């Protein structure tokens, strides 16, 4: 007789537009024990020609050293492929919440219900038992099928699909980074898009996706420095370690016109009987040396930072003036580029918040193994926020 047991390990898989992040965790008492971490960048050129293969190749690399066959797998869909709403629904007599959701969801979802998969959670019970507020998610079937093809190509069964912006909230909550009576914005900065998850009194209240991401900054660097994206990433990483007062030194170069003039002077044969320059009644223009100072990364980032501020301000205005008349007090940054100082500095200056901090997932509730694969997690845990939130959700279900 065969005996089946539930897995004791969970792997959270974040399939991003730029890279794949994985975390393998298990329980150790009431704490989360992170056993292994994985990271792999997606081949941009291959992603254009064959996105399934590009993601499959990166996922297999990110799973090196992990045990997916013996683990509960949780992954996520991008926020822009799903709709998240917070409706209040009314229960009819003897009606279940599930039936009420199916009956009322068409009023809140701008898609044909046959084209989406619905999921929901109760987040608040009204004083009247017949009213409940739910977190309603509608994910497009096409997006789910696209993700499934990646896992099938890797011969892996994914047990749960979440939404990346919700996974971020789960991670922040699990690490006890939320506080009562506080209004918080969790800003998850992705590669091609980002999301802001607003939390009031430790409860999720509003999510907005932003069509802005790290690629906007890299595009500006590539254009200014005339380099490829790999070099742009290196320069951005290097600049993130500089202080605010660091600036590249000026480089002196000669203009092409001056260089040609100098070559012409050198190449011209001179006769011993030729007149001296002083004998000509003309003024020869002086040769000038032009001082050129290349823009620093901070200067290059001015334009993409302005676009970021514009997108974030639209989200803040809607949240603070139309949903809750309470200003955001704290911003928590997540994502690979969240460690760049100028992002936090810009948000502090523009939005007058009390604090802007980069998410630190290495709390007292988290234990780390001695695996060398965790070095990248220790270096910048905010990069793994989505993967952590996914794994934490899976851990609560096994």
User: What pLDDT shows up at residue 255?
Assistant: 38
Q: How far apart are CA 195 and CA 162, in angstroms?
A: 15
Token pair 């822009």: residue: 80
Q: Are strands 194-200 and 9-15 parallel, antiparallel or unpaired?
A: unpaired
Containing domain of residue 182, as a range? 178-232+296-358
Question: Are 34 and 20 contacting, i.e. CB atoms less than 8 angstroms apart?
Answer: no
Question: Among 136, 302, 125, which Cα is nearest to 221's?
Answer: 302
- Assigned domain for 204 exists: yes
pLDDT 10s digits, 73-91:
999 999 989 999 999 998 8
pLDDT, position 325? 73
As a whole number of angstroms, the distance between CA 113 and CA 50 comes to 30
Q: So what's the pLDDT on residue 326?
A: 84
Assigned token pair, 18: 């730029």
* H helix runs in 88-213, sequence order: 97-104, 141-153, 164-174
Determine which helix (DSSP H) or strand (DSSP E) holds 24, and give its type and residue range. Answer: strand 19-28
The tens place of each residue's pLDDT in the chain, 398 residues long, gives 454 578 999 999 999 999 999 999 999 999 999 999 999 999 999 999 999 999 999 999 999 999 999 999 999 999 989 999 999 998 888 888 889 998 899 899 998 989 999 999 998 887 666 889 999 999 999 999 999 999 999 999 999 999 999 999 999 999 999 999 999 999 999 999 999 999 999 999 999 999 999 999 999 999 999 999 999 999 998 887 764 444 433 333 333 443 444 444 444 444 444 455 554 455 556 666 555 678 899 999 999 999 999 999 999 999 998 887 789 999 999 999 999 999 999 999 999 998 999 999 998 889 999 999 999 999 999 999 999 999 999 999 98
CA 240 – CA 7 distance, rounded (Å)? 40
CB 10 within 8 A of CB 72: yes
pTM: predicted TM-score of the whole model, two decimal places? 0.85
For residue 132, being part of any structural domain is answered with no
Per the structure, how many domains does the chain have?
1
Which pLDDT belongs to residue 211?
A: 94
pLDDT tens digits for range 98-147: 899 988 998 999 989 899 999 999 988 876 668 899 999 999 999 999 99
Please tell me the predicted confidence (pLDDT) of residue 124: 85
Residue 130's pLDDT is what? Answer: 80
Q: Is 121 inside a domain boundary?
A: no
CATH number of the domain where residue 225 is located? 3.30.420.40
Predicted local distance difference test score (pLDDT) of residue 40: 98
Flag whether 318 is in a domain.
yes
Cα(190)–Cα(195) distance, integer angstroms: 8
Question: Is 325 part of a structural domain of the chain?
Answer: yes
User: What pLDDT, on a 0 to 100 scale, did the predictor assign at position 284?
Assistant: 58
User: Is residue 81 classed exposed, middle or buried when 0-12, 13-18 and 19+ CB atoms within 10 A define those classes?
Assistant: middle
How many residues comprise the chain?
398
What per-residue confidence (pLDDT) applies to 294? 83
């Amino acid at each position: 007789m065969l005996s089946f047991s539930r897995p004791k390990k969970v792997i959270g898989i974040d399939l991003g537009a730029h890279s794949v992040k994985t975390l393998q965790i298990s329980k150790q008492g009431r704490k989360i024990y992170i056993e292994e971490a994985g990271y792999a960048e997606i081949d941009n050129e291959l992603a254009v020609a064959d996105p399934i293969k590009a993601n499959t190749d990166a996922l297999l690399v990110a799973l090196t050293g992990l045990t997916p066959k013996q683990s509960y797998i949780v992954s996520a869909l991008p926020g822009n492929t799903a709709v998240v709403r917070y409706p209040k629904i009314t229960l009819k007599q003897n009606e279940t919440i599930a039936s009420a959701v199916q009956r009322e969801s068409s009023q809140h979802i701008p898609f044909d219900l046959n084209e989406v998969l619905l999921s929901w959670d109760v987040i608040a019970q009204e004083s009247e038992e017949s009213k409940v507020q739910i977190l309603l998610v509608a994910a497009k079937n096409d997006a789910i099928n696209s993700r499934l093809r990646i896992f099938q190509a890797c011969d892996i069964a994914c047990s749960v699909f979440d939404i990346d912006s919700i996974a971020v909230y789960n991670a922040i909550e699990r690490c006890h980074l939320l506080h009562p009576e506080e209004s918080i914005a969790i800003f998850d900065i992705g590669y091609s898009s980002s999301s802001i998850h607003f939390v009031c009194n430790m409860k999720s209240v509003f999510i907005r996706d932003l069509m802005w991401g790290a690629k906007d900054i890299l595009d500006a660097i590539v254009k200014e420095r005339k380099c490829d994206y790999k070099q742009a990433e290196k320069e951005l990483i290097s600049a993130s370690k500089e202080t605010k007062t660091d600036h590249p030194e000026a480089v002196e170069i000669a203009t092409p016109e001056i260089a040609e003039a100098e070559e012409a002077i050198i190449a011209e044969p001179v006769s011993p009987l030729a007149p001296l320059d002083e004998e000509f009644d003309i003024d020869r223009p002086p040769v000038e040396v032009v001082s050129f100072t290349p823009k620093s990364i901070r200067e290059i980032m001015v334009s993409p930072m302005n676009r970021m501020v514009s997108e974030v301000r639209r989200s803040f205005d809607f949240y603070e003036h139309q949903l809750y008349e309470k200003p955001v007090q704290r911003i928590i940054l997540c994502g690979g580029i969240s460690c760049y100082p100028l992002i936090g500095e810009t948000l502090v200056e523009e939005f007058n918040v009390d604090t802007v901090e980069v998410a630190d997932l290495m709390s007292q509730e988290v234990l780390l193994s001695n695996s060398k694969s965790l070095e990248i997690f220790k270096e910048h845990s905010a990069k793994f926020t989505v993967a952590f939130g996914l794994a934490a959700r899976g851990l609560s279900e096994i």
